Amino acid sequence: MNFMPLRFLLLASLGSLLLTGCGSRETRVEQGNREGVLHRAIGAEPRDLDPHLVSAFTDMQVVLAFFEGLVAVDETTSRAVPAAAERWDISADGLTWTFHLRPDLQWSDGTALTAGTFRDSYIRALTPSLGSEYAYVLYPIKGAAQFNSGEETDPAKLGVSAPDPHTFVLRLEQPTPMLASILTLPVGFPAPLHVIDQHGGRTDRANRWTRPENIVGNGPFRLTEWQPQSRIRGERNPLFRAADAVGLNGVAFYPFENAVSQEAAFRSGQLHLTSEVPLTKIKSYEAESPELIRIDPFVLTGFVRFNLTRPPLDDGRVRQALALTINREALAAQVLQGGEAPAHRLTPPNTAGYTAEATLGYDPVKVRQLLADAGFPAGEGFPELEVMSRAREINQSILEAIQQMWRNELGIDVKIAMKEQRVWLDDETQLNYDISNARWIGDYVEPYTFLELFLSYSGNNNTGWANARFDEILRRASAQPDETVRYELYQQAERLLVTDTPIAPIYHGTQVFLKRPEVQGWPPALLGFHRYQFVRLAP
């Protein structure tokens, strides 16, 4: 027998340890590639995963993995396409929409998902005690506004019916050409009422049915883990209507309030996708790693809300002065780095061919006179206000620049308060703020989705502004099939927004994020939503 010298035995043992160590150092992305699990960042911890209660874009991104509505958004065209419904018919007068469900739809626990489920889910979403912020988008349905306001209490008066298990019918108040797009929103998704009933009332916002041990869904994945502020994970749902076509075995979401932390996690192999990129890193990625950075078109407007229930913001001259002091061109050129454009109106230009004529500009001379006319010459006696924002790097940079503009041009001081997303959302909803930095991503590609935000009954208005003429103009526009007439009505509504100034638009956005090359099936999406069943990992 031959004996290996001791030094060679030691080297062999060390080599074995090193090989083992390399295996244990496999990055999360490498493991994800091997296991077929997508790891992506989202901008904040979801407030909820109940499709009827989500309102934030980040929350909706997660919900789309676990739930599906009658229709879905096609990423490349931004149009509504069949999902749980395989087709739909519209009556000649536009007042009746009949959705034909795919056969054998199931929840992830094997319970049948029928037209009756959709009917009862819509009733739940519109029940006043649930307090769904998005319920107002369902107001085209006959009786929905009266039921949601509590004026009518009989759900049988709603225009929702299920004549058989595979047919769901909506009767409308007036023709609504964009109804299919409206129903791509989570508030139009079915809810697993058989599970919700087991864990509390259907309208109990504290119901724990969305916890991993309780939840069932009808999307391509089923929730298996939710560690708050850490990770949300799902595995392939074998009972999804098209389970064989799902290209991933799992998906994991990681909440990050900080873009710098996201980028560091991406660089260290922990993420396939980020939701944003630090402003200071955009140019370097474009120059050095262009294959990793994406700057996609995005139907988005960043703006600040004014709380009209608090003086002096109840004075239109004060709001105008604050809005006209913002030098949007300077912000786009010196602060923003992702190709964002100055916003002089709410609706992004060329949204489905529409561009608003009424605009807010930059007028440092006029603003001083406006503030003086409101009783605050050169800012004298102006109360200290606070502008709050979700804690994001881009928001901090924008607000610091605007803070300086207001100080230099108006002689006023405004504090900045950065908050966690759920706190910021709650404060906006309760009008517990002076000025709030916000953004709105179109729910579909049509000007109406921006303008309806400020309807007096919109659950997402959150300004205290109400204008009956504005409401009536949009009511007429929503029923108008003639695009030329509809767009002229939008022009009228936009002029009212500019005149009353409940908000000050700042920029029209892009979607800037990092993506690893192995992520396939992630085309540019104007609305920012993706159908996870079509995503693949091709290392």
Whole-structure pTM value = 0.90
d(CA 520, CA 378): 56
Taken in order 277, 281, 282, 284, the sign of the CA dihedral is negative
Q: Identify the three-state secondary structure at position 75.
A: coil
**Beta strands 385-390 and 80-82, pairing class:** unpaired
Which domains are delineated in the chain?
A: 28-46+209-294+512-537 (3.40.190.10), 68-195 (3.90.76.10), 300-511 (3.10.105.10)
d(CA 4, CA 477): 88
Helix or strand (DSSP H, E) at 236: strand 231-236
Q: Identify the three-state secondary structure at position 444.
A: coil
Whether the Cβ atoms of residue 132 and residue 50 lie closer than 8 Å to each other: no
Token pair listed for 472: 């009536």
- The pLDDT assigned to 539 comes to 75
- The pLDDT assigned to 25 comes to 86
Query: Residue 322 gets which letter from DSSP?
Result: H
Whether the Cβ atoms of residue 222 and residue 235 lie closer than 8 Å to each other: yes
List 294's β-bridge partners, or say none.
513
- The pLDDT assigned to 5 comes to 36
Token pair listed for 444: 């579909």
Q: Identify the three-state secondary structure at position 310.
A: coil
pLDDT in tens, the chain (539 residues): 333 333 333 333 333 333 334 445 899 999 999 999 999 999 999 999 999 999 999 999 999 999 999 999 999 999 999 999 999 999 999 999 999 999 999 999 999 999 999 999 999 999 999 999 999 999 999 999 999 999 999 999 999 999 999 999 999 999 999 999 999 999 999 999 999 999 999 999 999 999 999 999 999 999 999 999 999 999 999 999 999 999 999 999 999 989 999 999 999 999 999 999 999 999 999 999 999 999 999 999 999 999 999 999 999 999 999 999 999 999 999 999 999 999 999 999 999 999 999 999 999 999 999 999 999 999 999 999 999 999 999 999 999 999 999 999 999 999 999 999 999 999 999 999 999 999 999 999 999 999 999 999 999 999 999 999 999 999 999 999 999 999 999 999 999 999 999 999 999 999 999 999 999 999 999 999 999 999 999 97
